[in-house]
Amino acid sequence: MNLLRSPRSLRRLLGLMSPALVALSLSGSALAEMRIAVVDTQRAMMETEDGLRMQATLKKIFEAKQRELNAKQQELEAERADIEKQRGVLSAEALQRRAETWQQEMVALQQLFVQFNQELQAKQNELTKPIYEKTLGLIRRLATQEGYDMIVDHQAVPYVRSDLEVTDRVITMYNSGAAPSAQPAPAPAPKASTPAPAAPAPAAPAPAAPKK
């Protein structure tokens, strides 16, 4: 399972699409004089050593919590089955009390499910921010060193020649410990709107009460 294979928010917030729009507005002669490169910022982040460690950490957190939620869901399924078996034994009042308790526990499980997704989202944002900022700093450094006028994110263009790609170079720079270029203000960190996920979230059980 790849937790971060499609973090949709990263694509939206990777901050490098506006240069592509500027490029489209330039004349052909102006573009001919510019040195342009293309980088897949998302892949650069995820395939660095830090990015791979981040994915492994999120995967571990997800799987541990999912086991916990699955166990609780199985308990509730067993409880409902037992209530059904006791239908002809328990009084109507006792049966109703057990059914109401079961419903409350089911609602609590659904709330845990939502809380887990929020916690996983927050952890992803926390771990992504430093990788994102360092990657952008290295892209700036590469542009300065190589004399690129513009480095456009791959998500902003439908096609690019392979010789313009610098993604692997950015990954190599990152893993080699190269210092990113200084910047006046830190780049905004990506904020994913959903667990990336995408990590597949544990299925929330339907809050249906046992038949009365």
pLDDT higher than 50, residue 207: no
Q: Does domain 8-175 have CATH number 2.130.10.10?
A: no
Structure pTM?
Answer: 0.66
Is the pLDDT confidence value at 210 over 70? Answer: no
Largest CA distance in the chain: 87
Instruction: Tell me the one-letter amino acid at 5.
Output: R
Q: Where are the domains of the chain?
A: 8-175
Alpha carbons within 13 angstroms on the beta-carbon side of residue 174 total 28
34-74 pLDDT tens trace: 899 999 999 999 999 999 999 999 999 999 999 999 999 99
Question: What is the residue whose two structure tokens read 């499910």?
Answer: 113
Q: If you average pLDDT over every residue of the chain, what do you get? A: 79
Predicted confidence (pLDDT) per residue in 142-171, tens digit: 999 999 999 999 999 999 899 999 999 999
Q: Which amino acid is at 1?
A: M
Band the pLDDT of 183: cuts 50, 70, 90: low
